[in-house]
Amino acid sequence: MTSDDVVRRVVSAHNQFGDSNWALLQSGRQSECEPFEHLCDRVLAWLRGVDPAVAFQGLLSVFLNPDMIGNQDLAAELLLRGEIASTVPVGEFLDAVLRFDYPSSTDAVADYLAWAFGRAESLAAIHARLAAGGMHWYHLGFVEHALTLGGQEQPAPALAGDVASWLSQGVSGGINP
């Protein structure tokens, strides 16, 4: 079993899920649509038989491919629900999941960060990327959610200053600096 096999399985399952539900919606049979949670459960049952390092690399590959943006929600949920340990440092993980114009699966990714790396380490990596201009400005919603990991709102005066400083450095029109 390879990470490419994991990618193929995730993409195939997600595509079948979408096609099936779309056909049901088109025929007026909304009540028969499969819930996303059932898709996650089915793929996770298969994924439990895969070496965790291979599973992680396959799921991370989904985030690295711009053609798979629609599959990222499933990949993030599988990482979180499957409690699949990261094989890369938190910064490398952030760079992968925040690689494109918007973060997909924000809630599951933030929860995974807290579980896999710890809240403090995750926030430190996010702050470092903000300070270096290494995140799109619209990823701030992701950061705000990450600050509330565990369900408790946390003040972030240092982050507010970092963001204000970063934004004052000439970010124009909301595009990646």
Q: For 19-53, how does the pLDDT look when each residue is reduced to its tens digit (9 = 90+)?
A: 999 999 999 999 999 999 999 999 999 999 999 99
Q: From CA 53, how far away is CA 154, in angstroms rounded? A: 33
CA distances from 157 to 104, 111, 120, 147, 160 (A): 26, 22, 15, 11, 5
**How confident is the model over 70-121, as pLDDT tens digits?**
788 888 889 989 999 999 999 888 888 876 655 556 677 888 888 898 888 8
> What per-residue confidence (pLDDT) applies to 46?
95
| Contact of 52 with 85, CB cutoff 8 Å | yes
> What per-residue confidence (pLDDT) applies to 168?
39
Bigger pLDDT: 125 or 50? 50
CA distances from 42 to 121, 122, 135 (A): 32, 29, 34
Burial 42-81 (b: 16+ CB within 10 A, else e): ebbeebeebeeebbbbbbbbbbeeeebeebbbbbbbbbbb
- 3-state helix, strand, coil split of the chain in percent (to 5) is 70, 0, 30
Q: What is the pTM of this model?
A: 0.75
What is the distance in angstroms between the CA of the first residue and the CA of the last residue of the chain? Answer: 40
| Contact of 14 with 74, CB cutoff 8 Å | yes
Percent above pLDDT 90 for the chain: 40
